[in-house]
Every structure is written in C-alpha cells, then in structure tokens.
Amino acid sequence: MAEDLFATAQALNATVPDDLAERLGAARAAIPGRLVLTTGFGLEGQLLTHGIARAGLEIELVTLDTGRLFPETYELWAETERRYGLRIRAVHPDAAALARLTDRHGPMGFRASVAAREACCGVRKVAPLAMALDGVAGWVTGLRRSQSAARRATRFAEADMERGLVKLAPLFDWTAEAVASHIRSLDIPYNPLFDRGFVSIGCQPCTRPVRVGESERAGRWWWEEGARECGLHLPPPYAPAA
Ligand code: SF4
C-alpha cells in the first residue's frame, strides 16, 4: 500500500503536463478509486472546479462548511452549482463537538489564544476534512508554492501516508497572477471579496483584506504570529480537542 502511494506520486511527478486539464486527467487516470477536490471557493478552487466540470472528470467536489463563511461565499457556492450544473457536497462539523466547543470558548473564543483558535479549526475544519477524505484514494487541493513559505516545497503529487491517499496540487507551480488571469479569461465565477482586497478567504471572523506588500495569507488569523495554517494541510494527527 505505502509502496503503491509512493510509486503513483513518483510517476505523476516524473511527467507533469503543462496544461491544467491534462494534469487533472493524468491524476484521474493514475489513481484508481475515489478522487475528491476540497474547495473553499477561492480562486484556485474555482479554477479546478471549472477544469473538472468542463472535462467531465469523475472527481467529487466537496466543501467544508464551517458555518462561519462569508455570505458572499455561500452565494458563490450556489452560483457555481448553477453554472456547472453540479452539486458540491458539504461536510459539516459534528454537532456535539461544536456544542462543546462553544460551551467552552463562546462564539468568538478563537481570538483568545492560539490553542482556542486551533480547537475551533479542529472542530469546524480538520475533523470534517477527515470525514470528507474517508475512503478516498486521491485528494485534489488548490495548494500553490507561492502562497506562503510553508508551501514552498509543494509538488504535484505526494504520498500522504497518514491518510492513505495521494495528495494532489495541480496548481503547485502557478502564480496568483496566472490563476486570476485564467479566472477572468475563462469567465469563471469568483468571490466579489477579491475585488475588495481579500486574497485568501476563509471564515468571516478570521479573514481580513491583505495590504500592499503583505503575503497572500496575511489576512488569515492576522492577530497571530506564525505559519497561518488551519491544520488542513498539516500532517495528521492535528485535531486539538474542543
Ligand atoms: S477560521 Fe476561525 S471561525 Fe473558522 S474554524 Fe478556524 S478559528 Fe474557527
């Protein structure tokens, strides 16, 4: 099993096509079993959704509905389903875990400490991601190298031994400008918050616009120092107790 994951990732990395649709097609052809794209409706997720829909690839579309997304994000979710005639499946936080979280920390407790913020991301994002990826053979993400220092080493395909799947980043070598340019030229629906200075858009209370000269993820958990990661792209186990 482990050898299979490594061999598949290695083969995909050995001949990465230039074209995005070909990259998605190569991943679909190389990985037997279920493939899932997790999208948060950012520009990368929208570009990948467009590529999957237009090519008719058998790749499931899933979003983690934290319950704290921007109204604009929910509108975009609906608009994307209408545009492409597909359903983007939502995975929600466990209701009992969410109740324990808010009992302990309150509705805005994630601002109190890094541990409280990680607890919230753990319940609202990381645990639902584990549910979304249960039984999945390939996980398609919108990761790019230039998003942050922590993502500099991202490759097209990696063997995720903990989750037992091949993790894919078809946009790993794309720039933010190239993604935005394709969104415009292909008339792909996107979040209007991007036109108001937001770059990486997550939950409403934890996202602010990015200022000139700041990194792409500077608007996420801006009150914290450090890596600015919610845990989705850190190796498990990463699900702090609520
Ligand atoms: S981004 Fe903020 S609101 Fe969303 S899950 Fe993380 S801490 Fe909670």
Encode pLDDT of 145-193 as tens digits. Answer: 998 888 899 999 999 999 999 999 999 999 999 999 999 999 999 999 9
Q: Which residues, in sequence order, are bridge partners of residue 168?
A: 140, 157
On whether residue 233 sits in a domain, the answer given is no
Residue 224's pLDDT is 86
pLDDT band with cut points at 50, 70 and 90 for residue 51: very high
Query: Is the beta carbon of 202 within 6 A of some atom in ligand 1?
Result: yes
First to last CA, the chain: 33
Query: Is the beta carbon of 182 within 6 A of some atom in ligand 1?
Result: no
User: Which residue's alpha carbon is nearest to atom 4 within ligand 1?
Assistant: 203
Query: Is the beta carbon of 124 within 6 A of some atom in ligand 1?
Result: yes
Q: How far apart are CA 230 and CA 84, in angstroms?
A: 29
Query: Is the beta carbon of 66 within 6 A of some atom in ligand 1?
Result: yes
Q: How far apart are CA 44 and CA 143, in angstroms?
A: 8
Q: How far is the CA of 181 from the centre of ligand 1 (A)?
A: 29
User: Which residue's alpha carbon is nearest to atom 3 within ligand 1?
Assistant: 203
What is this structure's pTM? Answer: 0.93
On whether residue 229 sits in a domain, the answer given is no
CATH number for the domain harbouring residue 167: 3.40.50.620
On whether residue 172 sits in a domain, the answer given is yes
Q: How far is the CA of 76 from the centre of ligand 1 (A)?
A: 19
User: Which residue's alpha carbon is nearest to atom 1 within ligand 1?
Assistant: 203
Which are the catalytic amino acids? Answer: 230
pLDDT band with cut points at 50, 70 and 90 for residue 11: very high
CB atoms within 10 A of CB 200: 20
On whether residue 219 sits in a domain, the answer given is no
On whether residue 226 sits in a domain, the answer given is no
pLDDT band with cut points at 50, 70 and 90 for residue 232: confident
Is the separation of the CB atoms in 159 and 9 below 8 Å? yes
- Name the residue of 125, 228, 238 whose CB sits within 8 Å of the most ligand 1 atoms, as the mutation to test its pocket: 125
Query: Is the beta carbon of 111 within 6 A of some atom in ligand 1?
Result: no
Per-residue DSSP letter, 165: E
On whether residue 173 sits in a domain, the answer given is yes
On whether residue 90 sits in a domain, the answer given is yes
Per DSSP, the three-state class of 111 is: helix
pLDDT band with cut points at 50, 70 and 90 for residue 46: very high
Give the residue numbers spanning the domain of 193.
2-206
Query: Is the beta carbon of 119 within 6 A of some atom in ligand 1?
Result: no
Number of H helices, E strands in the chain: 8, 6
Query: Per the structure block, which two tokens stand in for 84?
Result: 């492409």
pLDDT band with cut points at 50, 70 and 90 for residue 235: low
On whether residue 224 sits in a domain, the answer given is no
Q: How far is the CA of 86 from the centre of ligand 1 (A)?
A: 27
Arithmetic mean of pLDDT over the chain: 93
Q: What is the arithmetic mean of pLDDT over 107-120? A: 94
CB atoms within 10 A of CB 137: 17
Q: Which residue, among 217, 213, 184, has the nearest Cα to 46 in the 3D structure? A: 184
* Structural domains counted in the chain: 1
